[in-house]
Structure 1
């Protein structure tokens, strides 16, 4: 029997690990938010017009300073630790995750150019959990809807990414992964040399990613033993992406959706086979 509370808590715990790691990374490289840093507020505030800068942006100057953001990230770490001890279904647990959502939304104003799909997925999960566990309105039905939304969003993300790759000439020509591994930002010399030595591996990896991403929503309908093939593939894909390309935030953000996928699969009244 599936316990809804346990599934929701597992989603939160996996996501919390990822957010804790990424927040520690921000603390370690806090100098990028210095006045002459890559994500300096002196530059990021230019996203808004001059009139806006004279009104609501000025109070953010101190918050988005190097020391202000360091404080915000430390507070976020404390919130994440607190969520380990307080259930999301409790009032205090809901307050903690609500404050976590506020911290994520606030920092997104200055990290928008350094964010990626994992940040969007993390934000989506946190806000969904906040809305679906609102004290006084929370119910098993609403929590159920939240898990469905998270799981379907994960499937949509995979499928859209797969279709976009199928439309790409570089991916169909089986050169995309090799080219990415050859870059300085996301590359790996060992992986690049391996793919140059074994060209057939390029085709296998490219088409494997395209097909599995495109067909990923099947994990909702197939009997669980077969659905696990997609989840094991996803785990392996994100794990090696984290190891080789350094995109560890994607691993935790998408692994957090897998309990929801498990929940949806077991809620299906029928399967394709």
Structure 2
């Protein structure tokens, strides 16, 4: 079993890889933030406008043009790179994690229409790491609580998603995955054709996702050899979702939480046996 410090560091490393990839994607398509772009601040700012146009936050709004966001994204990449040299347990590592979270909060003010569950998971993990690693003698107990929180939140995310799918007539009728693969945004032509050719595969995949998501919290209490079934399933689920649907951000955001699942499972097993 890896140590508490190594587990937290691994969580941060996987999270950082995913954030670096997503940040580079934003930099590559930075034109969407221009005055004529899809996420132009001229439009996005309407969500934050108040009656007092000279509010405290008004000067910050100038950051959310094309040039300002290039600076934010560039600084985020530098912060991620610096975290390779400063461990989370150090004062500098802790400050860098705080700055990383700050950059995400800043950019979220203009990217909120494109945000999803992976963005929420990223922010949840960063805030947890920041709060549970305060460098002035917080000790290992708070760091352990942080890993438990990440693990439990991850299980809750899966279970809520599974129950929501079980309540859906489309999922119970085993048509949901085929229908999603047939869409333009999240679809895949070869995957849709495969589902059409083998309808039994669609039934298997729909019920596999619903059952495994709903029962995912068992990975915390089952003996590790059995818990590994859920861990491997989650890895493959997010991997194929990234490949077929293009949701690569979900892969890294949830994989960052998996070391916490390992850690909590081993702790529970040590108490039980």
TM range, normalised to the smaller chain? over 0.9
Q: CA deviation at 1:139?
A: 1.0
Q: Which residue of 1 aligns with 2:18?
A: 18
Q: Which residue of 1 aligns with 2:272?
A: 270
Name the CA distance, whole Å, in 1 between partners of 2:66 and 2:166: 42
Q: Which residue of 1 aligns with 2:205?
A: 205
Gaps of 5+ in 1: none
Q: Which residue of 1 aligns with 2:241?
A: 241
Matches of residues 1-273 of structure 1 in structure 2 within 5 Å?
1-268=1-268, 269-270=271-272
Q: CA deviation at 1:52?
A: 4.2
Name the CA distance, whole Å, in 1 between partners of 2:8 and 2:61: 37
Q: CA deviation at 1:57?
A: 4.1
Q: CA deviation at 1:2?
A: 3.8
Q: CA deviation at 1:55?
A: 1.6
Name the CA distance, whole Å, in 2 between partners of 1:28 and 1:49: 28
Name the CA distance, whole Å, in 1 between partners of 2:50 and 2:62: 18
Name the CA distance, whole Å, in 2 between partners of 1:245 and 1:58: 38
Name the CA distance, whole Å, in 2 between partners of 1:49 and 1:267: 48
- TM-score w.r.t. length of structure 2: 0.97
Question: What CA deviation, in whole Å up to 9, does each residue of 1:224-273 have, x standing for no partner?
Answer: 010000000000000000000000000000001110000000111228xx
Stretches of 4+ aligned residues off by more than 2 angstroms: none
Q: Tell me: CA distance 1:72–1:211, structure 2 relative to 1, closer, same or farther (3 Å).
A: same
Name the CA distance, whole Å, in 2 between partners of 1:144 and 1:94: 16
Q: Tell me: CA distance 1:94–1:182, structure 2 relative to 1, closer, same or farther (3 Å).
A: same
RMSD over equivalenced CA pairs, Å: 1.1
Name the CA distance, whole Å, in 1 between partners of 2:52 and 2:155: 38
Name the CA distance, whole Å, in 2 between partners of 1:79 and 1:180: 37
- TM-score w.r.t. length of structure 1: 0.97
Q: CA deviation at 1:85?
A: 1.1
Q: CA deviation at 1:51?
A: 1.6
Aligned length: 271
Q: CA deviation at 1:137?
A: 4.2
Contact kept in structure 2, 1:20 and 1:80, CA below 8 Å: yes
Contact kept in structure 2, 1:178 and 1:192, CA below 8 Å: yes
Contact kept in structure 2, 1:45 and 1:53, CA below 8 Å: no
Gaps of 5+ in 2: none
SS at match of 1:61: helix
Q: CA deviation at 1:112?
A: 0.7
